[in-house]
Each structure stands twice: as C-alpha cells, then as structure tokens.
Amino acid sequence: MLAWTLLAASLAFADDPTAAILKDRAETQEWLKSKPTSYLAAVRRKDFGKKATLTVGAADGNDVPLEGLEPRHLSVTVEGDKFKVAAVDAPAGFRVKNGDAALREATLDPGPIAVGRYTLRLSHQGYPAIIVFDPRSPRFNEYKGIPYYPVDLRYRFVLPFLPDPKAERVKIASTHSADRAATRRGWFEFAVDGKPCRLAAYRLEEPGAGPDGLSLFFRDATTGKETYKVGRYVEPEKQPDGRYVVDFNMAYSPACAYSPHYNCPIPPKENRLKVAIRAGEKNPKYR
C-alpha cells in the first residue's frame, strides 16, 4: 500500500509541476536554514595550491585548524582525481557517512567526510580544496529565507536537445580559480515573449562532476538587478522520449551568492540572454 501511495504522489507531482516546484522550494529553504551542509554552515575554505597535503587538527600549525579535534587529526593528500585521507593521532578517525564505523585511512573520490562535529567537503574541480562545514556556524543567524518569483509555467519548456557534433572543449571562468575545463554538449532553443533564445549546455570536465549531467549557466536582463550579479543556473531534466524539461522556475543562484567559500562557474558570453527570465530564484542578498 505504501508503494502505491508513493507512486500516486509521484504521478501527482508529475502532472502538477507547480506543486513539485513549491515542494522543492520549501525543502531548499529548510536545508539552507538548518542543515549541516547548508551554504550557511560553510565556515572555512583552504585551497591546496601548490601543496600536495593539508593537515587538519586542533593544534597550532595545522593548515585547517579546528577546535574539538585531536591536535593532529588528519592529513589529506591529493592523489590525481582522488584524496588520500589518513588519521594521524592515535584516537583520531573520520567517517565517510554519518553512522558508519570510523576509519583511519581511505582513498576517496571528491565528497564529504565527517570529522568530529564538522563535515569536510573534499572539493576538487581541478583546484583542490577543503571546505569546512560547522553545525554551530554563526551564519545560521543570518537566515532570511530565499526570495523567488511566483511560479510561472510560461517559463517551463519541453525541448529537443541540439547536440554539438564537435563536443567542443571550452574554458569557463570561475569565481575562485582560473578557468575550468568544460565540454559544450549542445544547445537548447526556445522563445520568451516571442523572442528567440539559445543556451549552450555544458558538462564540467573535472573530478566530482557527474558523467552525464548537463548544466545551463546563464545571465539575463534581470542579472545584477533582480537576480544575483554572477548569474543563475538551471539543470535540464531528460525525459523518456529524449527531450528535456528546461524549467526556469527551478533556476537558482550559485553557492557563491551565499558564501565566499565556493568556486562557481561564471556564465559564458554565449549564454547571456537579452530577455528577462522572471522565474526561479531572485537575488538572495546574503553577500
């Protein structure tokens, strides 16, 4: 019975995009307000730079000093696309997932690990870094929600994907690093208020990026006025018939709109629309 109930609920959301959009917005607000990996929980970023190894612990002299840990808790070493994490002091350890047994050593893909009360995100993106999340972050006191445009299904499109036959490799500027490698997979074409629009879809070519995902990094006539100054993102959703839903009601500000501890792609020149996309997230004004 439960399975049928969940299926019915899923079908109801599929038939009612507005309900699904509002549900996603409510869940996003709750995540930002209180969750341990909220943007507001990010308290520190340490780039590896020219170092192969960073140390984490409570003692002075660590690259990432954190109270409440062992004096020399961890060493984290970049090994190609992965990270080798090793406990140093005898009582130290870490978890890949909360609830798992503590580990002393592991070689891991980019992603989070739990260390004491903290979550450490092992971020690669071609420019490795450790991002520290603290459930006691004082920035939670700054929470003021996320402003959105009203849901408007005129900005929801079901579109064919126009592949780039060359799958051209390009460089995309970023907010915290040099340019990042990406592949232009193709384009989506649509019209807003009768005006033709075209956006390039990219896949970032870096450790931690999904193998098949497409991302639209875009600016429009609202950028820097009603919406965040860098631009916004939206993720196309592939449908069984091969087309994609591109729903700008789901457009969101990059993480760097909320925190200085992130490295966010900057929409390329070809994705700067002259029309106004008054859908999705407005400028959250946390920075």
Residue-wise burial string across 37-70, b where 16 or more C-beta atoms lie within 10 A, e elsewhere: ebbbbbbbbbbbeeeeebbbbbeeebbbbbeebb
Residue 81 is encoded by which pair of tokens?
Answer: 């696309």
* Beta bridge partners of residue 204, listed in sequence order: 182
Distance CA 261, CA 286 (A): 13
What is the tens place of the pLDDT at every residue in 47-77? 999 999 999 999 999 999 999 999 999 999 9
What DSSP letter does each residue of 127-138 carry, written as one string?
A: S-EEEEE-TT-G
Domain ranges of the chain: 40-140, 144-271
Q: What is the pTM assigned to this prediction?
A: 0.91
What is the tens place of the pLDDT at every residue in 233-275? 999 999 999 999 999 999 999 999 999 999 999 999 999 999 9
Question: How confident is the prediction along the chain (287 residues), in pLDDT tens digits per residue?
Answer: 333 323 333 333 457 999 999 999 999 999 999 999 999 999 999 999 999 999 999 999 999 999 999 999 999 999 999 999 999 999 999 999 877 889 999 999 999 999 999 999 999 988 999 999 999 999 999 999 999 999 999 999 999 999 999 898 999 999 998 899 999 999 999 999 999 999 999 999 987 666 677 999 999 999 999 999 999 999 999 999 999 999 999 999 999 999 999 999 999 999 999 999 999 999 999 99
Distance CA 87, CA 73 (A): 6
Burial environment of residue 169 by CB neighbours within 10 A (0 to 12, 13 to 18, 19 or more): exposed
Distance CA 251, CA 21 (A): 11
- Residue 88 phi/psi, 5-degree rounding, is -105, -70
Distances (CA, A) of 96 to 14, 81, 177: 34, 17, 27
Half-sphere exposure of residue 50: CA atoms within 13 angstroms, side-chain side: 0
Residue 49 is encoded by which pair of tokens?
Answer: 């730079």
Q: Do residues 21 and 247 lie in contact, with contact meaning Cβ atoms separated by under 8 Å?
A: yes
Q: Do residues 188 and 204 lie in contact, with contact meaning Cβ atoms separated by under 8 Å?
A: no
Return the CATH class of domain 40-140: mainly beta
